[in-house]
Amino acid sequence: MATKQREDDAALLAALRAGDERAFERLVDRHQAALVRVARQYVPTQEIAEDVAQEAWLGLLRGLDSFEGRSSLRTYLFRIVMNLARTRGVREARSAPFSSLVRDGEEGPSVEPERFISSPARGAGHWASPIRPWSQSAEQIALSDEAVATVYEAIEHLPENQRRVVTLRDVEGFGADEVCDLLGLSEGNQRVLLHRARTKLRQALAEYYA
Amino acid sequence: MSQRILEDFQPGELTCRQLAELVSDYIEGVLAPPLREEIVAHLTGCSDCSAYVEQMRRTIAVTGEIAGGEVAPSTRASLLALFRGWAGSP
């Protein structure tokens, strides 16, 4: 954990322990939406996810005195919400409606072999057909609600492990180390899951834009 | 995974198919320098893979746009009540 992060966390902890409402509100603004999104991956409804997020806040406050700062406060908060959401998810006998039906394959290539030339005489391993450029600029795409909605929906359809990794990494912005820690994954496994997820999300955008 | 795809990798002969399996690690900056250099060299001469890598970067940027979200006033109120309850308890 970076020194800056540790100092920020120490100041925040002191403020919370002193009952500073503003400090708590800032923390809520920063993390509430993400907590609900993460919880939602384990529980069947948005309402339950919001409920779990609220429980997580209470868990954070109650645990403040025993928080030792081994991880960042953010990682600590997300560990709490994920533990609560997992337990709640089991109780509600949930799994994601689509993703649980998808085989969680981590074997084989992430891009279909048919996309590449197979004949050695014609240059095996090269793209069989050109990568079509996207019709909009990088800026237009990043600002486009449709693009964001396309990716959001594609994430919903990912196998569970890939969905969890890409949500924490690319949506919420956690680092690789934190994600390995939160999800109990090896570094190699995290990379594979992230790669497979990103490949599918790119494909979803390609179908939309090309 | 990236290990398997590279089993038959020959220096100077990285294929598009192999590159497609390394693109996320390449963007992450976690590849060993010799492999990273192979990719850079391949990208210089391959407009398809250059487009592919660029599209992957854009995909990651768009994914990041999902983050954020306002806290509903009712949620804020109940969380503040929760905080006050906690702060006021002995």
Name which of A196, A205, A102, A193 is nearest A151 in CA terms.
Answer: A205
Total domains in chain B come to 1
- At which residue do the structure tokens 């006033």 appear? B73
- Model confidence at A98, pLDDT cuts 50, 70, 90, reads very low
Last residue of a domain, one of A61, A91, A121: A91
Q: Chain B residue with minimal CA distance to A15?
A: B87
pLDDT-derived band at A100, boundaries 50, 70, 90: very low
A-chain CB neighbours of B49 within 8 Å are 127, 131
Write down the pLDDT at residue A1.
Answer: 58
A69 with A156, same domain: the answer is no
Residue A28: its chain B contacts at CB < 8 A? 71, 76, 79
**ipTM computed for the complex:** 0.87
* Closest approach of A70 to chain B, Cα-based (Å): 24
Each residue's pLDDT tens digit, B16-36 = 999 999 999 999 999 999 899
pLDDT digits (tens, 9 = 90+) for A122-168: 788 889 999 988 877 777 777 788 899 999 999 999 999 999 999 99
- Closest Cβ–Cβ partner in B18, B54, B82 for A57: B82
pLDDT score, position B86: 93
Domain with B41, as residue range(s), is: 2-85
**A173 lies in the same domain as A156:** yes
Mark whether A47 and A17 lie in a shared domain.
yes
- Per-residue pLDDT at B46 exceeds 50: yes
Q: Which of residues 29-48 of B touch A (CB under 8 A)?
A: 30, 47-48
| Residues A87 and A180 grouped into a single domain | no
Same domain? For A69 and A107 the reply is no
Q: Is B90 inside a domain boundary?
A: no
Q: Domain of A44?
A: 3-91
User: Is B45 part of a structural domain of the chain?
Assistant: yes
Residue B70 lies in a domain: yes
Q: Rounded to 5 degrees, what angle do the CA atoms A61, A5, B28 make?
A: 115
For residues A195-207, one letter each, b for 16 or more C-beta atoms within 10 angstroms of the residue's C-beta and e for the rest, the string is bbbbbbbbbbbee
CATH number of the domain bearing residue A40: 1.10.1740.10
Band of the pLDDT at B4, cuts 50, 70, 90? low
